[in-house]
Structure 1
Amino acid sequence: MITFLIAIALLIIGYFTYGAFVEKVFQPKEERITPAYSKGDGVDYLPMHKNRNLLIQLISIAGVGPIFGPIMGALYGPVAFLWIVFGAIFAGAVHDYLTGMISIRNGGAHLPELAGRFLGKAMKHIVNAFSILLLLLVGTVFVASPADLLFDLTNGVVPVIIFVVLIFIYFLLATILPINKIIGSVYPYLGAILLVSTIGVGGALVLQGAPIPEMSFENTHPAGAAIFPLLFLTISCGALSGFHATQSPIISRTTQKESQGRRIFYGAMIAEGIIAMIWAAAAMSLFDGPITLSELIDTIGTGGIVNEISTVLLGSVFGTIAVIGVILLPITSGDTAFRSARMIIADYIKVPQKKIINRMLIATPLFVTSIILTTVDFSMLWQYFNWANQSTAVIALWVGAMFLFINKRNYWIAIVPAWFMSMTVATYIANASIGFGLPMSVSLVFGAIFTIVITVLFFLFANKNRKNKIPTEDDVSNWDSNVA
């Protein structure tokens, strides 16, 4: 229990200390006009209150990842707590903040546009294809998982296909309608439900004196899976997730002032870290007896474990409310995944999105593809999601490092987590069965060489960019300051 409480405290302290440091490094400008005003179109670009943006950002990035991932990560033991805490503070929140703020400085641009500007034109095309693939996987996976949870919640009375159809209809509406119609109106309330239900689970753990294990570096995974690199891909949302790099630009287009960035981007990631800590602790404490966590995952799955945790800790009524809060997570990340995909494609092919017909022309093929993907095995999709997700995080961190390097600021806040995740992802791809299937010893060498090569190329390109003084942000000198 002491380890759990210290971890929660560290996450909160991290927001006020390291978060303030990262903000100081970036140097937000209070007077600078944001894209919400300079490019306002009433659809994707429009100003919304900072608290509304915070809750939208939180509910968008917090899919099933900060719950299902930590439950699976709990198999490794309390070492998972370290990754959640330090990953969220020094990697995930930095990743989210830099992506959101650099997007604001570049007219609300999404990651492919930013990669093209800071890492070379070829990267724009590569990252564009990669981002669309990731978002399609997320959108599809986040149809299946809440449909299964709803099926369990109704005791199988309502067929899964009904929930799948209803979720797809909602996703389509949230993708094509102006952001303030559904997402901006409903999300803040859904975010409040998420926070209340999560606090309820965490509070019950403390009040009931749940036997949460104390800090230990012992690997307790029943299958003997290696902590490195697997833990750092198993727990992504809640520590560091590339999916967030596709979501932050959505809110960069609705942010009123740059000074709100730490609260919205850094703060939402810290909140997600707290959510991950609570569910990891609950899984470790409740399923370490005659029936182990591993056995339950094999029999009732992570969705069943969520139901079990909620019911045991909160009772049938409040437990059901908590489960509903969990069901909302993938639904409210799936819709913004499709929305983000629409926006990225629109930016890439330069099609204005003010007319609904233009939005439909882009959204329709996305949903047709996603429907086809629902016929693919869920577990296989999730394997590819983990790899694609953390690879996207690597790209976003290198983009952040390049922006800071060119502007002669402390780029180490981005480059250190970029090193770690480059090594992690490269090692995983080399070792995994869906990758090259190499022995772990060889994979570690491959990961190290890959990281060194990427670092050398980064500094060569960065020094060239700094020497040539490439623009790192849109010129707003001729904007009318009265617009805001």
Structure 2
Amino acid sequence: MSFFLLSIALLIGGYFIYGTFVEKVFGIQEKRQTPAYAQQDGVDYVPMSKGKVYLIQLLNIAGVGPIFGPIMGALYGPAAMLWIVVGCIFAGAVHDYFSGMLSVRNGGASVPNIVGRYLGNGAKLFMNIFALVLLVLVGVVFVSAPASMLTNLINSKTEITVALSAVVAIIFLYYIIATIVPVDKIIGRLYPFFGALLIFMSVGMVVALGVSADHAMLPGFEAKDFITNMNPNDMPLWPALFITIACGAISGFHATQSPLMARCVENEKNGRFVFYGAMIGEGIIAIIWCAVALSFFGSLDSLAEVVKEGGPGKVVFDSAFGLMGVVGGFLAFLGVVILPITSGDTAFRSARLILAEFFKLPQTELPKRLLMALPLFVIGGILTQVDFGIIWRYFGFANQTTAVMMLWTATAYLNTNGKFHWITTVPAMFMTTVVITFILNSATLGFGLPMTIATAAGIVLMLVITFLVLNTRRGEGKDSVEYSELTK
């Protein structure tokens, strides 16, 4: 229990101490007009209050990531909790802050245009393709995950097949509507309520675990276990843990979501609360679910059996109803189901906006929004027929590679403007080594090289990239540009 409480305290302290330092390095301008007012269009650029934008941002970035990822990461033991705390404060929240504030400074531009400004047109083209692939994968993952979790409530296999297809169809229909209507009509009205439900659900789970007579918090773990790989399936901790736990520690998906709320932020002084703070909130959720996974089933072997039987969705189902009874368990389970749905629709919304920027097609008219959105849903619908495990593996790698690109973009921005760039350079160096090592070592997704060779190559390539970024100057003399300049 003490390490759990310490983890929560460190995350909250990180927001006030390190978050303030990051904000100071960036240098907010409270009197500068934000895109929400400068480009207000009643569709995507709509001013919203700080609290409302925070709750929407939290839901947008959450999905099943801070739940499924920490549950799978818990198989490595308490080391997963240590990565969540350190990664969230020094990498993930910093990543989210800069992805949001650089969008604010550049007219609400999406991540490919921001990357292009600071890293060049080659990087922009890469990010246009990579971000669209990631967002469609996210949309598919966040259709399949809630659909499969909902069908856990049904016993008959025949009924499950029928129900799964029906749920997928309903979720896709909702996604289409939410993707094309003005941001304040559905997202702005419903998501603050869903955000409150998410917070209530998370607090409810940890309170129920804390007072449970049958389940102890982090039973039998010692201090050395927090730096030990305890995976019962003999999976290597390096670099897999840092791919497995993305949301809750650092996630490139957030870089695609932050510009949505960058177009609604009323003042730059709200940025730390909205972007850095939402990531800290997600880190707390991740810590809670990691602790539940490590505590509820009694041992890592038992947890591994449940995961093998029904994936992380079954872990959620069993622990929610086991700790909170039928009513409380249903509410907690419903909160988990809502998470991916509220991120899936904004994934497709972000993809629509990235496509619109690429083709320079204004989105104030409904037919033009449909023109950009419908092809994405057709592709997403086809991908729902692919095995969920395969989609999830590709999503994990694509997600962290996007995070790497965003961190290097922030480094280039800080370095170009003579600011302290190490706050983004250090996590960029670490995550670059992670993704390169992972793809070189992975026999399933990559090249299957031995770990020592893959790691050495990852370090060498990371150093080369670091040198190139720190010695390439773009956009000198201007701290920001207007949106119209970026999309020429």
TM bin, normalised by shorter chain, reads: over 0.9
Cα-to-partner distance string for 1:397-439 (whole Å, 9 max, x where unaligned): 0011111111111111000000000000000010002111101
Partner of 1:47: 47
Amino acid at match of 1:29: Q
Matched, 1:417 2:427: yes
Partner of 1:245: 255
Aligned positions of 1:350-389 closer than 5 A: 350-389=360-399
Partner of 1:70: 70
Alpha-carbon distance, 1:231 to partner: 0.2
Matched, 1:210 2:216: yes
User: Of 412, 437, 442, which residue of structure 1 is paired with 2:448?
Assistant: 437
Distance in 2, matches of 1:207 and 1:465, equals 56
Matched, 1:349 2:356: no
Aligned positions of 1:143-182 closer than 5 A: 143-155=143-155, 157=159, 159-182=163-186
- Structure 2 unaligned runs (5+)? 484-488
Distance in 2, matches of 1:130 and 1:159, equals 33
SS in 2 for 1:376: coil
| Change in 2 beyond 3 A, CA 1:232/1:448 | same
Matched, 1:474 2:474: no
Amino acid at match of 2:61: I
Counterpart contact for 1:8–1:274, Cα < 8 Å: yes
Distance in 1, matches of 2:412 and 2:310, equals 45
Matched, 1:268 2:275: no
SS in 2 for 1:261: helix
Partner of 1:480: none
Distance in 2, matches of 1:391 and 1:471, equals 28
Distance in 2, matches of 1:228 and 1:290, equals 19
Distance in 2, matches of 1:475 and 1:388, equals 29
Partner of 2:117: 117
Cα-to-partner distance string for 1:231-258 (whole Å, 9 max, x where unaligned): 0000000000000000000000000000
Counterpart contact for 2:93–2:280, Cα < 8 Å: yes
- Give the TM-score of the pair, scaled to structure 1: 0.95
Distance in 2, matches of 1:68 and 1:475, equals 38
Partner of 2:411: 401
| Change in 2 beyond 3 A, CA 1:113/1:290 | closer
Moved more, 15-24 or 218-227: 218-227
Cα-to-partner distance string for 1:166-210 (whole Å, 9 max, x where unaligned): 000000011000000110110000000000000001112222372
Amino acid at match of 1:354: T
Distance in 1, matches of 2:372 and 2:12, equals 40
Counterpart contact for 1:3–1:214, Cα < 8 Å: no
Distance in 1, matches of 2:72 and 2:299, equals 17
Partner of 2:486: none
Distance in 2, matches of 1:472 and 1:351, equals 26
Partner of 1:460: 471
Counterpart contact for 1:78–1:214, Cα < 8 Å: no
Distance in 2, matches of 1:104 and 1:301, equals 39
Cα-to-partner distance string for 1:297-320 (whole Å, 9 max, x where unaligned): 111221111011111211111011
Counterpart contact for 1:431–1:437, Cα < 8 Å: yes
| Change in 2 beyond 3 A, CA 1:286/1:255 | same
Distance in 1, matches of 2:338 and 2:346, equals 13
Aligned residues: 472
User: Of 285, 300, 304, which residue of structure 2 is paired with 1:294?
Assistant: 304
SS in 2 for 1:108: coil
Amino acid at match of 2:182: P
| Change in 2 beyond 3 A, CA 1:63/1:88 | same
Counterpart contact for 2:35–2:104, Cα < 8 Å: yes
Alpha-carbon distance, 1:153 to partner: 2.6
Counterpart contact for 1:88–1:240, Cα < 8 Å: yes
